[in-house]
């Protein structure tokens, strides 16, 4: 009987660890300010006044607009699903100037640039810009993007963070996608 109780206790601990691993703390938190940082635009949103190949501050370009800023280490089908939903919101809230951009991060900036362009084309994502930060491995140092965060989503308006969602690899579920999309909608309500 004692060993059965031990097994149940271990299952609870392991289950909690899996849940905790799915969500991590990463990036600027609610109430903090999103500062300037340098990126190179590689794909997406041809109407943003920031041409592909340009290096500069995309955060500065968005000014006080409501923004869904994504830092992604993996470009998979779940990311594509999330971005398609965000793209729908960007389209729907044009009058409120809702915008979004994806920072692809990882060890090799040149590979990230090529992969980002291919990902945007493959999934038909056109209203969201894809950029690679100057500090490509983990994004801007003062943003504190966690090394174990596969995906960090920061919703901000006027430079102030209104929502933050971060996930370890495999942590983005359909339910979490809905939460992120709701947070992006709250920026324009």
Express each pLDDT in 115-134 by its tens digit. 999 999 999 999 999 999 99
Does residue 38 sit in helix, strand or coil? coil
Cα separation, 156 vs 158, whole angstroms: 7
pLDDT the model gives residue 65: 95
Cα separation, 166 vs 29, whole angstroms: 10
Q: Exposed (0-12), middle (13-18) or buried (19+): which is 26, by Cβ within 10 Å?
A: buried
Cα separation, 41 vs 47, whole angstroms: 13
On whether the pTM is more than 0.85, the answer is: yes
pLDDT the model gives residue 14: 40
Cα separation, 180 vs 182, whole angstroms: 5
Going residue by residue through the chain (189 aa), what tens digit of pLDDT does each one get?
A: 444 443 333 334 344 333 334 579 999 999 999 999 999 999 999 999 999 999 999 999 999 999 999 999 999 999 999 999 999 999 999 999 999 999 999 999 999 999 999 999 999 999 999 999 999 999 999 999 999 999 999 999 999 999 999 999 999 999 999 989 998 888 887
């Amino acid at each position: 009987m004692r060993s059965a109780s031990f097994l149940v206790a271990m299952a609870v601990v392991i289950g909690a660890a899996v849940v905790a691993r799915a969500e991590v703390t990463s990036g600027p938190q609610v109430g903090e300010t999103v500062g300037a940082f340098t990126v190179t635009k590689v794909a997406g949103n041809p109407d943003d006044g920031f041409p592909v190949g340009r290096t500069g501050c995309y955060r500065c370009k968005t000014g006080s607009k409501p923004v869904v800023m994504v830092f992604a280490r993996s470009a998979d089908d779940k990311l594509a699903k999330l971005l398609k939903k965000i793209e729908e919101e960007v389209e729907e809230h044009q009058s409120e100037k809702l915008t979004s951009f994806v920072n692809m991060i990882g060890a090799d900036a040149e590979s990230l640039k090529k992969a980002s362009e291919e990902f945007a084309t493959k999934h038909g994502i056109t209203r969201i810009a894809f950029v690679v930060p100057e500090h490509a491995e983990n994004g801007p140092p003062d943003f504190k993007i966690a090394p174990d965060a596969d995906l960090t989503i920061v919703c901000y308006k006027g430079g102030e963070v209104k929502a933050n969602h971060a996930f370890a690899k495999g942590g983005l579920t359909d339910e979490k996608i809905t939460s992120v999309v709701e947070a992006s909608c709250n920026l324009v309500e």
